[in-house]
Amino acid sequence: NLNPTKSPKTVEFALKHGYRHIDTAAAYDNEEEVGAGFKASEVPRSEIFLTSKLSSTHHAAADVEEAVGQSLSDLGTDYLDLYLIHWPIAFSEPADPKLRAPIDPADSGIHVVDAPVEETWEALEEVVAKGKVRSIGVSNFTREVSESLIKVANIRPAVNQVEAHPYLQQPSLLSWCEDQGINVTAYSPSGNNVYGFHKPLNDPVVVESVTPSRIEENFVDFQLPADAMDRIDVLDRNHRHNLPARLGVDIFGEVGREAAWKGRADWIAAQKK
């Protein structure tokens, strides 16, 4: 989720210094810049694993291929290695295609609509069949939503990318995904990118860095001792840093509808101050 003005040089530097996985999304509004950095690096496309994500504004089955096509064009590639449904929630289609969070005129909150994720997934499977995407997966999906999807999917999700760190370890979800053959990748690992935390857990982490020095630091290899892992284990408190209260939807099934709507109302009120 890089700053667009810094993205080209950051991506170019990272690829030239050994990075081979780029994780981006249409919602980050920087795919053109990421594509420019990829091109400037002159690293062969075949050596790069490129991940992008479907925005909530394009969950309608008829909009999925268009969204994929836009990401391909912006990134300057003819295929994606992995494409994820960014969130298990749909927004209305905005008048401005660059608007990532359309406003509901009823209350000035985000305009959430009903678009069955199963239909979105079927459209993604068609994109895979056309060779535009090689693997598909999900992000921020609970076990319950994932189970419903798997029941109708012809292609099982390859990945579930979720928030995971010492304060939100989600062992039950991680264990279930492992049993289902779904790889889990973590964003916000350890809350502040404590490198190495993921390795003993055998779960890949999406590492974010912008400065050249930090990019190079990510290649430093070390292993936390067992007693350190034990101290991390007891920190779990099911605390989320990334909880989009403005949506008014209990995405993770943890707070209830009433609390979710209160969170939305509080967010709307805060924007007016």
3-state secondary structure of 197: coil
Amino acid at 258: E
Give the whole-angstrom CA distance, residue 174 versus residue 164.
10
- What φ, ψ does residue 49 adopt, rounded to 5°? -100, 115
Give the whole-angstrom CA distance, residue 177 versus residue 167.
19
Strands 112-113 vs 136-139: parallel, antiparallel or unpaired? unpaired
How does DSSP classify residue 103? B
Q: Which candidate in 28, 83, 187, 195 is catalytic?
A: 28
* Residue 225 CB contacts under 8 Å (≥ 6 apart), including other chains: none
Q: Which two tokens stand for residue 12?
A: 């170019």
Conformational region of residue 80, where left means phi above 0, alpha means psi within -120 to 50, and beta covers everything else: beta
User: Could you confirm whether 19 is annotated as catalytic?
Assistant: no
Q: What is the CA radius of gyration of the chain?
A: 19
Residue 86 assigned to a binding site: yes
Q: Which two tokens stand for residue 18?
A: 């050994």
Any alpha helices (H) in 22-158, and if so which ranges? 31-41, 61-75, 117-129, 143-152
| Token pair 């943890």: residue | 254
Q: Which two tokens stand for residue 203?
A: 């779960």
Any alpha helices (H) in the chain, and if so which ranges? 7-16, 31-41, 61-75, 117-129, 143-152, 171-180, 212-217, 226-233, 257-271
Residues identified as active-site: 28
Residues at the binding site are: 86
Binding site residues for substrate, as ranges? 86
